[in-house]
Amino acid sequence: MGRRMKVGFLAALAVALIVVAAAGASLTGKHATTTLVFGASADPVILDGPLVSDGESLRPISLIFQGLVSLKPGTTTIVPQLATSWTTSKNGLVWTFNLRNGVKFQDGTAFNAKAVCFNFNRWYNFPGPLQTDAVTYYWNTVFGGFAHPAQGSPGPDKSLYRSCKAVGSSQAVITLTRKSGGFLGALALSVFGMASPAALVKYQADAGTVTADGVFQPTGTFGTQHPIGTGPYMFKSWKIGDKLVLVKNPTYWGKPSDPPWSRSAKIDQLIFVPIPDNAARLQALQTGEIQGYDNVAPQDIATVRSNSGLKIVNRPPFNVAYVGINQSQPPFDKLAVRQALAYGLDRASVVNAFYAGRGQTTNQFLPPQLFGYAKSGVPDYPYNPTKAKQLLQSAGLTLPVKIDFWYPTNVSRPYMPDPSRNFQAFQASLENSGFKVVPHSAPWRPDYVATVQSGGAQVFLLGWTGDWGDPSNFLNVHFGSQTQEFGFNNPSLFALLKKADAETDIEKRTALYQQASVAVMKFLPVVPYVHSTPALAFKSNVKGFIASPVGLDPFWLATVS
Amino acid sequence: MLRFIVRRLLLLVPILLGLSILIFLWIRALPGGPAQALLGERATPQAVQQIRHQLGLDKPIYEQYWAYVRTTASGNLGISIASRRPVTTEIRERFPATIELTVAAMIFALSIGLPLGFYAAKRHGSAFDHLSLVGSLIGISIPIFFLAIILKYIFSVRLGWLPSIGRQDVLINADHPTGFYVLDGIVTGNWNAAWDAVKHLILPAIALGSIPLAIIARITRASALDVQNEDYVRTARAKGLSPGIVDRRHVMRNALLPVATIIGLQVGLLLGGAVLTETVFAIPGMGSWIAQAIFNRDYPVIQGGVLFLAIVFVFVNLIVDLSYGLLNPRIRVS
């Protein structure tokens, strides 16, 4: 048996080597030039805008659906899209949108004012199981109320939206319950893209059952097989775990000569492949199995840059990392102590050391991209241990002052790639500045966020990535009302932010938010320290891709040469 | 035989009942819940409370368990909180990927591990024997994810011989009637798709099969060493039977008994535990799905997925037990 076995074994080995060599012959890594394969970190949840809030769902949704307004590529500047112009009533409650003519949905039905009102009323009338933040986060955040609220859901009295009226086929009149300048910017979110009413009905977009676990299961096929909008791309096929395929919309209304946000697509086919692991996405890019992916890990940027066949595309910074302060926990109810903390944090050193050249030390909460960013008058708190100690003593405290400082583990966020290193550096600088830091950590999901947001953390590391191009999404969300996280009650700040949010004139709105930005830095509920620049990676032959600060990436502008 | 099978299947009931209680209580004892997992920084206390109420997580634990048992008993494993798809649909779509990967890994492990172990036993004390021992030790010691990354780097990135992710080239539009991509290609006559699916299995199978290969080689070697010193083997040789016949009829069949047990255990483990391989190679199988569900506190997926794998594990071990009778008539008779 021995010789036979040996021969058999060697033969099997030879066959294996031949198989591998033959396999290699056909792995070219080349794709047709009319296709772009993009590595996503997960499958979309569902292709129905108002029912999602995750980036992987919103990416294809932003290509299939369009809203009344959009953003100039690479910026947060609002531009016309399905609405060509709009006016507001004197009291700021009535918004009249003049709609673009000649636009059809991908199923051939007409886009018109009735379709706009159908969509708005659909969202406003979502049934109970769809009313939680887990499902309709953005409707809840922007409009905050439903026509028929389930228990625990806000009702019409809380809703920003009152009604929609179609005036002819080309004018949609939306009435709000109160003034809101942020309303227009929020409409640029892909979640508020217009869907074909005929398709919503035919494919039963809102049909579903609720299990004994309370989970809503959609039973219609609109969001899984028939998502129909007006966008430059349309749905072709989706096999979960495998690929989502979009193809160029042959009846798209936009022309190649139109402004960039409305142009027709150049690449015929987009394929989104779910690859959860970051290292696997990088390797797939290197082999050519994909031609681009998002959220490049900081440690991989040098690898991409060193490969002449690959390139990095930067996403404009639209986030902020901060050291949060819970003022309900003494001694942080005293401004002098918060100021001492600010002077005791060596922010510039942390940014220089741990952001690989991709972080910008900041002096305020808003990113520079965003209108409302204050160019002057912002108090600065450069690292100054002596000043920090003086402030603590002036507050009547004996040094060192013990503080509980929290940081998350098992996570890398775009604004904070390495939380534990940030913490260690901050701990060292604070202990040099009259503080005694007691460290606390918890896994990001689910404990850390829960601890911070329920007011359990005294001082903590956290951050925020903006959802839409309006300062209210940064300042009002965090400081517009009392929260357990920050533990303060500042009626004048709340009033200023409310006034700023209600202002519809852009110049006045900008001035008010600049004022608010300065006010926040004087009051110091947080000490912001960096706006970081996330990165995408592409094959070098992918041209024309412009990354959006809010993830509204115009794939239709890209080409593959 | 039939009684044996029925008895083993009846054992499923208490096993599943006990497991369901354990899983149900364990995941609810973990801190946090689906709300924080779904919303991250956006999970305000109000949102968390609202979601907990909607999912019935604020009800008494016995009420929650009773609701769970009622729906599970009807064959309904619930809806994934994250994907909003039925757990049974997810299992139906993901399990073939895991089976296919497991089968490929075991083919790799057995086709090398068995002959390696037997030959090492035959050449006991030789350089080959020592090398095989060292090799199996290395095989057991290398972390799977490390091996997977190295294999991908060499064969995909540097040499470009094999694909690094997924189950099939995204540009191939093939039908998948069974969900087993290699079989689907053969059944539909799409040889390009079948071959492409095989290529996608090679590296993951090697990575996943490395530890079973090492274990099978060592157990086979040890078992063959024991058996080949038995009296009946010496008698067979003394009777003048050729070495090949002695090895095949007497040594191998008896040496394979403990190996069969190991194979069964390994298959069971691979079916549920290929998390790292599936993650590194972006294969949408059961392991990575359940691991992500634990991370997300996706209770229906964890409960349904683990129960399903428990059933599979019991069936696999039943098949292993039945295989003893095939290998050894004395066991069959008894």
Partners of B54 on chain A (C-beta within 8 Å) are 129, 132, 134, 152, 214
DSSP state string for B317-329: HHHHHHHHHHH-H
Q: Are strands A435-443 and A401-409 parallel, antiparallel or unpaired?
A: parallel
Shortest CA gap A311–chain B (Å): 17
Taking 70 as the pLDDT cut, the residues of chain A under it are 1-33, 212-214, 445-446
B38: closest chain A residue by CA:
A134
Q: What is the ipTM of this complex?
A: 0.87
- B244-253: pLDDT as tens digits: 777 777 777 7
Q: What share of chain B is helix, strand, coil (3-state, %, to 5)?
A: 80, 0, 20
Q: Using the beta-carbon criterion (under 8 Å), do B282 and A274 form an inter-chain contact?
A: yes
Contact present, A50 and A192 (Cβ < 8 Å): yes
A333 CB-contact burial (10 Å; exposed 0-12 / middle 13-18 / buried 19+): middle
The alpha-carbon gap from A511 to the nearest alpha carbon of chain B, in Å, equals: 27
Q: What local confidence, expressed as pLDDT, does residue A134 receive? A: 79
CB pairs under 8 A between A and B: 226
Question: Which residue of chain B has the CA closest to A40?
Answer: B282
SS (H, E, C) A14-72: HHHHHHHHHHHHCCCCCCCCCEEEEEECCCCCCCCHHHCCCHHHHHHHHHHCCCCEEEC
- Gap from A20 CA to chain B (nearest CA, Å): 7
- Dump pLDDT digits (tens) for A462-487: 999 999 999 999 999 999 999 999 99
Specify the pLDDT at position B26. Answer: 85
Chain A environment of B282 (Cβ under 8 Å): 273-277, 280, 284
Percent of chain B surpassing pLDDT 70: 94
Tell me which long-range contacts A354-357 makes (C-beta under 8 A, separation of at least 24).
A354/A417, A354/A418, A354/A421, A354/A422, A354/A425, A355/A298, A355/A417, A355/A530, A355/A532, A356/A298, A356/A301, A356/A302, A356/A417
The answer to whether residues A349 and A429 touch, using CB atoms and an 8 Å cutoff, is yes
Span of B52-56, B85-89, B179-183, B196-200 with lowest mean pLDDT: B52-56
Which of chain B's residues have a Cβ under 8 Å away from the Cβ of A277? 279-280, 282
Give the angle subtended at the CA of A37 by the CAs of A32 and A38, to the nearest 5°: 160
CB within 8 Å: B160 and A29? yes
Instruction: Check B162 against A152: CB less than 8 A apart.
Output: no
Query: Between chains, do B56 and A212 touch, taking CB under 8 Å as contact?
Result: yes
Confidence of residue B29 (pLDDT cuts 50, 70, 90): confident
Query: Distances from the Cα of B51 to the Cαs of A152, B47, B140, in angstroms?
Result: 10, 6, 44
Q: Which candidate in B44, B53, B74, B110 is best for mutational testing of the A interface (most A CBs within 10 A)? A: B44
Mark yes or no for CB contact B170/A213 under 8 Å.
no
Q: Which residues of B touch A27 (CB under 8 A)?
A: 156, 160-163, 199
pLDDT tens digits for range A196-244: 999 999 999 999 887 766 677 788 999 999 999 999 999 999 999 999 9
**B-chain residues near A449 (CB < 8 A):** 36, 40-41, 43
Beta-bridge mates of residue A436:
A402
Least confident piece of the model among A116-130, A214-228, B51-65, B90-104: B51-65
Which one of B43, B97, B199 has the shortest CB-CB distance to A449?
B43
Question: Is B79 close to A211, i.e. CB distance below 8 A?
Answer: yes
Q: Are B307 and B240 in contact (CB under 8 A)?
A: no
Task: Please tell me the distance from the alpha carbon of residue B81 to that of residue B86, in angstroms, as a whole number.
Answer: 9
Looking at the complex, report in whole angstroms how far the Cα of residue B277 sits from the nearest Cα belonging to chain A.
11
Q: CA-CA distances (angstroms) from residue A240 to A23, A209, B205, B285?
A: 26, 21, 22, 11
- Per-residue pLDDT at B331: 56
Residues whose CB falls within 8 Å of the CB of residue A115, separated by 6 or more in sequence, listed in order: A105, A109, A194, A196, A197
Contact B115 A2 (CB under 8 A): no
Residue B41 has pLDDT above 80, yes or no: no
Please give, rounded to a whole number of angstroms, the shortest distance from the CA of A394 to a CA of chain B: 35
Mutate to test the interface with B, among A213, A244, A467 (most CBs of B within 10 A): A213
DSSP 8-state symbol, A185: H
Residue to test with chain B: of A31, A52, A132, most B Cβ within 10 A: A132
What pTM was computed for the model? 0.89
Q: Which residue has the tokens 């979110």?
A: A189
The alpha-carbon gap from A443 to the nearest alpha carbon of chain B, in Å, equals 10
Please report residues of B whose CB lies closer than 8 A to that of A239.
176
Structure confidence at residue A112 (pLDDT): 98
**Is B155 close to A271, i.e. CB distance below 8 A?**
no
